[in-house]
Amino acid sequence: LNTLRIKGIVNTSEGPKLVQGVGPRIDLSPPPSQFPQEMLGRLVAIRRK
């Protein structure tokens, strides 16, 4: 993906992780202590046209 920004919560082998990315950099960190379960597995990407 040629994204400007990406954000969401994914399930990894270490449990849920918050995904945040700007340009080519993507970081994984612990998610908020409480988040809606329907957010798990969803990523929002803002792409350049």
Q: What is the pTM of this model?
A: 0.83
Which residue range forms the structural domain that includes residue 8? 3-47
**What confidence score (pLDDT) does residue 1 get?**
66
pLDDT at 13 over 90: yes
Q: What does the mean pLDDT of the chain come to? A: 93
Distance of CA 22 to the CA centre of its chain: 11
For the chain, what percent of residues have pLDDT higher than 70?
A: 98
What is the band of 10 on the pLDDT scale with cuts at 50, 70, 90?
very high
Structure tokens at 8: 């969401």
Looking at the structure of the chain, the number of domains it has is 1
Nearest to 29 by CA among 9, 43, 46: 9
